[in-house]
Chain A
Amino acid sequence: MTTATLPIHTKKDFQTDQEVRWCPGCGDYAILSAAQSVFAEMGIPREKFVIVSGIGCSSRFPYYMNTYGFHSIHGRAPAVATGIKIVRPDLEVWIATGDGDSLSIGGNHTIHMLRRNVGIKVLLFNNRIYGLTKGQYSPTSELGKKTKSTPFGTADRPFNPISLAIGSEATFVARSVDVFQQHLKETLRKAAAHKGSAYIEILQNCNIFNDGAWEDLTEKDARSEHIVQLEHGKPLIFGKNRDKGIRRSGFGLEVVHLGNGITEKDLLVHDENHPKANYAFMLAHMELRPGLPTPIGVLRACENIPRYEDLIAEQIQNVQAKRGKGNLDELLHAGDTWEVRP
């Protein structure tokens, strides 16, 4: 690819003339803005982008991006996108989806797209609620949550989307937060650079039906205590005074205070390319244990796994190299034939 002739897009080039119809104050605006910025930086002509979505608030995303866009049906974006990516591996295919769309009705397509490692990037807008249908609980809602459809609280244990993605053999799994604009952009850049499937959970607020969905994590004072930012090759340190760290403890992790003989050298050093999935699982499950902070950033990035669409194309090339391009007359006459003479 020659970079010299590439048109340079600005963020504005990715905006459409359609009025954005999310509720004022919705976290989706921040995600839209981050995506428009990062797409503009990528140096790829905008006609090469296709945004596919399902149903839900997040799935309106394609209408607001001046690229090719396909607003499909509930949960099916990964399957539509897979069809696109197999036929046109040269396109940048992104999915905008939500916790209901991707993890409930579309759970099956999500896990299969990830295991195949189709080169599609997924933006999961996780607000732990059904917004478009006005306030029912979602597969990521906390156990016991009272919602319109569960006035006495949910009995469902929630999904941890990161854990599900890792369990589906995803080759790139990351988490960011709608209000952490710089972190979000950085995460999107990394996802964009990844060749295979990328699954990015974006913790997002629904200020109408689930306001404060992630307040524990995003509130200014709590932020540094409740979140640990993962950086490849760096120890896991957090806290307002950056005086706490994470170290291994048996099969799990524990929080330690730096000082009193405990130094950075004792801490877990993040390796996003760790070949074993159980490393990423361990990080993903931190949030399930009280006292441990929630990790954000890239949890897992495996770069050496072939993309599905490339394997498919390769098979076709190999067969064509061996047999030549198909001849229709030969195909129709294949097998035993006989001639009836006039």
Chain B
Amino acid sequence: MSTTTIDVQRKREVIEKAVIRFCGDSGDGMQITGSQFTNTVALYGNDLATFPDYPAEIRAPAGTLPGVSGFQVHFSSSDVYTPGDSVDALVAMNPAALKMNLADLKKNGILIVNLDSFKETDLRKAQMTQNPLEDHSLDGYRLFSVELQRLTRAALKDVGLDAKSMDRCKNFFALGMCYWLYNRPMDSTIRWIEDKFKSKPQLVEANRLALQAGYSYCEATEAFQISYEIPPAKLAPGVYRNISGNTALALGFVAASKKAGIPLFLGSYPITPASDILHELSQYKDFGVITFQAEDEIAAITSAIGAAYSGALGITTTSGPGMALKTEALGLAVAVELPIVVCDIQRGGPSTGLPTKTEQADLLQAFFGRNSEAPIPVLAPSTPGDCFWIALEASRIAIKYMLPVIILSDGYLANGAEPWKIPQASELPDIPVTFVTNPEGFQPYRRDPETLARPWAVPGTPGLQHRIGGLEKQDVSGNVSYDPLNHEHMVRLRAEKVEMVANEIPDVVPEGAPAGDLLIVSWGSTHGAITAAVKAQIAKGNRSIGHVHLRYLNPLPRNLGDVIKRYKQVLVPEMNMGQLLIVLRAKYLVDAHGYNKIQGKPFKQAEIEQKIEEMLD
């Protein structure tokens, strides 16, 4: 695939794609290093996907295995669907990072290690008895042992920092090396350094010098015989930015509020991996965004319900354990029929589980996790950028039908990033909002015949005083009613209202074969790995496979049942024990098979391909 050109001094090979992973101690700044590399390749025009992987501990003891933090970037001149199954280049800042990550490095892959951190004490902290740099265990890789600490200190000797502060810059030395290795300019990172440390000129100087020293080191030494060039990808024309799922959700809600012409109110309690949405939205006071850091998860959602009652777009953001706490209030939102959006950024469970690792095991909780019959529409974004569109769509549905809507994102989408084509504000759909003002014939539960939505009657409106609450309502009047037939009627009405949302859901169109041997049905963040796997399998000649990726989970697209019937077998890969599988089997009486991975890590493309091949065998 690749063509080779000869540089004046060195070989520069043009390649299609590369996967690089930075790993080190949680204190080594690997997330920043990875983000900077990502930004640089994004600005260059590569398609990309990232996978930040960090421990739940803020600072586990330095140099130990639990303290290892990593950031993986897959960048390419063609379409990228996943952060990559394995890595072409691994930067390991210490023995612990090397031990935890080496298995993912390809044979003959590039391995850059910090030689200064392979002393006996460092090895002991990583529970290693032998020095891998000396025992030939790394012979299968292109090993570059670099004295990152000594070289960084030497580069910074005139800045006037103490040794500890100088050592903190060594990640930028490593980043500079990688920029050389992949022929990337340093200017966007230098701009970032200047902005980040603008009140500390000494640190601007130090980090810039470290970065440039790393670059020059590669240029000057003979160690690196080759560097790589990955041309820009052929993305659809437009203006792009790099975006993570959590940022995209936040922007989607700001857009929804603007398009609906009502204020955005976020009630939230900090929880990993959802907190970044709160951080992001708290910046947008210029958009009138109200962020309320509540005393707990319950206050977070109930304040959002109060805000929705008062005419705002009420949203709340959380993860699994918080979702469990919001359960009763979700039922209240169903009963009082007010528009709120609840974002569950799923993580490994049960209980506290794996706070920083991804999972999609809250699907059935979103479907059924409330007392009694309390159906709620459920949507799931499929990529980081899609989070923007899902936030917009969830808000639109909540307002149009006057009900709560759940968004199921996950840790992988939340922190992962991809190039995102920025839409024009004027192209975004309007979200019509009607506040009822006419007291003539007003009844709090008189419904719009098309949507079954009840009127949105905001406190302060003269003549519309009325009472709502969690007790069963008499249809139309909204008065408290214990009438048995009315109760059944109301239960059915609330369910019907959710079902009506399906009228607007686009039919699914399978990727690949429209009918055939195998249909893969998936949802959420598995989109990338499965899309890549299906494309690869089709390219390998398995042309009878189709793939449907669901963004709407409740209600499901109307034609899904018919599509499923067109295939001999159905496979449902999920990062749970088979939750969508249960829904599909129950709803369509189909003998679908699950493929389940519950390791806190996303599927690899190869795993999906292997499963496909097994099924087709």
Which residues of A line the B interface, CB within 8 A?
16, 18, 45-48, 50, 52-53, 55, 62-63, 66-73, 76, 78-88, 90-91, 108-109, 112, 312, 315-316, 318-320, 323-326, 328-329, 331-342
Contact = CB atoms under 8 A, between A and B. Distances in A.
Nearest to A341: B237
A45 to B, nearest CB: 7
Given A47-B464, A328-B258, A336 B309 contact: no
With a 10 A CB-CB cut-off, give which of B43, B241, B308 has the most chain A CB atoms: B241
22 contacts: A47-B463, A68-B460, A70-B469, A79-B302, A80-B306, A83-B307, A86-B303, A112-B299, A318-B285, A326-B258, A331-B287, A332-B251, A332-B255, A332-B422, A333-B241, A336-B42, A337-B241, A337-B422, A338-B44, A338-B240, A340-B235, A340-B236
Interface in B336-394: 336
Contacts of B3: none
Given A331-B254, A339-B238, 13 more contacts: A53-B469, A68-B460, A68-B467, A69-B469, A72-B470, A76-B302, A88-B310, A312-B290, A324-B286, A326-B258, A332-B422, A333-B239, A338-B42
Contacts of A78: 299
B29 to A, nearest CB: 19
A1 to B, nearest CB: 14
The 6 closest A-B pairs by CB, nearest first: A83-B306, A71-B469, A326-B287, A83-B303, A79-B299, A69-B467
Contact of A91 (B242, B329, B422, B459): B459
Given A46-B465, A63-B480, A88 B236 contact: no
B314 to A, nearest CB: 7
Given A71-B467, A73-B332, A333 B422 contact: yes
Given A80-B302, A83-B304, A331-B254, A47 B462 contact: yes
B43 A338 contact: yes
Contact of B284 (A48, A81, A326): A326
Contacts of B310: 83-84, 87-88, 91
A338 to B, nearest CB: 5
B133 to A, nearest CB: 37
Main secondary structure of the interface of B (DSSP, over half): mixed
B585 interface: no
Contacts of B44: 338
Contacts of B461: 47
A325 B286 CA distance: 5
Interface string B277-314: 00000001111101010111011001111111111101
Interface residues of B, number: 71
Contacts of B462: 45, 47
Contacts of B329: 73, 76
B267 interface: yes
A82 B235 contact: no
A84 B459 contact: yes
Nearest to A48: B460
A87 B235 contact: no
Nearest to A64: B467
B537 interface: no
A335 B188 CA distance: 11
